[in-house]
Structure 1
Amino acid sequence: MTQIQPADFETADYRTVLRRLTTLDDEAAAMRAEAVRWHDSRVEAADDAVRDADRQVAEAQRAITHAQRAAEQVDARAAQIWSEYVHKVGPVAERFGKTPPQPAIPHQRGEREPDDYLDEVAAKVEYTPKARPINVGVKGLFILFGVAGGLAGAAANEALRQLGGSRTDTWQDALPVVALVVLLACPVLAVVATKRVADHRGVGLDAATVALVLVAGLVTAGLVIAALRTTG
């Protein structure tokens, strides 16, 4: 069908104009339908984009929650390891601060996870160096502890016996028994002091050394008491 220009309407007959108007109406309907389809497709695409964005936001929120929980677990384990370290080394740990040091990002991370670093630190904290053997000088020091305990026990024993020398039917009558207990307790306290010194020096304290300290203390106490009895 030939296209009718606006100027042709003056000369065109009624049927021609009617057919042309019908054609224009059909074309307009087709364009409207195409516009509706385009609009619907755009709306559907926008809805898909919104749903995809919501899904990504939900995944990001889950990832954030997981990361926060992982960070809390790492902080909790780091605090536990720090507590074990402080309990093990004592005041020496205060040079690093009273609280766990702030986390730092390693210069070369590689593929290692935080748990790998925590396992490495935990292994170092749990490591206990081998006890050094007791040499002659240390053994002599321990014997001096025993001798000092024996001297202290003998002196306390003699002082308590002097206070409870006569029967008075009072609490002083029990002082000789207390004196004997103190006499035996002082060498034991010498062993306790020896143990603390040995731990501080990282020296192993075996049963033979403990017996040596006790014997030194008891022998010293016995000799002192015997000497006092002889001179008395």
Structure 2
Amino acid sequence: MLRHIGRLVAVLALAVLCLQLWFAGRIALMNWIAPQSTSFQRSEALRLMKEKQQVPWAQAWVDDAQLPRTLKRAVIASEDDGFAEHGGVDWDALKGAWHKNEKAQARAEARKAKAPPKVIGGSTITQQLAKNLFLSGERTLLRKGQELIITLMLEGLLSKQRILEIYLNSVEWGEGLFGAQAAARHYFHMDAARLGSFEAARLAVMLPAPKRFERQPGSAYVINRAGLIVGRMNSAQVP
């Protein structure tokens, strides 16, 4: 019996190791080959096909040189102001998000609220890319653990510049709308390379909830928040 359990554990350990090596190999290739799609994009395409029987889609890869510094600064200022310095995980941000979520949960329980409180994330740009590239959207400890491993692989095998390039070309900016070039054309009728500071800041504001903000991309919240981001852009460190 113990021998069978030992063999099972060994097989599982080997399977986990092979999976990690597969992730590492895929990431290493991204130094030269841009990913054709992400796990999140494929799941979105499947959802759209099931719900709408069609897949409205817009995405166009642009190289790092065509990604404006204004957009890089805006996204870093809005999403991850320590991007150029941390090793993939901002532990202080995670700790802060954990405490905020605990307080929100306690308030919800005190009010006996039926709906769960909104979960506040502390993910870095690299963590967001790790999740989007390979993982599902479920919130489990196992998935978060795998996200952490992939995050460290991304940081170890790719440059910060390449991580940001892949992120800006694959992140969602609306339903079926992915990447900076498609977003710039959709919202401002221009190429991403021509985005000014305020347009870039407006796109950055949308990233946490693009499907919600795309309904009113010129709402008072988006405009006001974009103004705040513009004020922080000069201090954003771009790799």
TM-score, scaled to structure 2: 0.24
Larger radius of gyration: 1
TM-score, scaled to structure 1: 0.24
Give the structure with the higher percent helix. 1
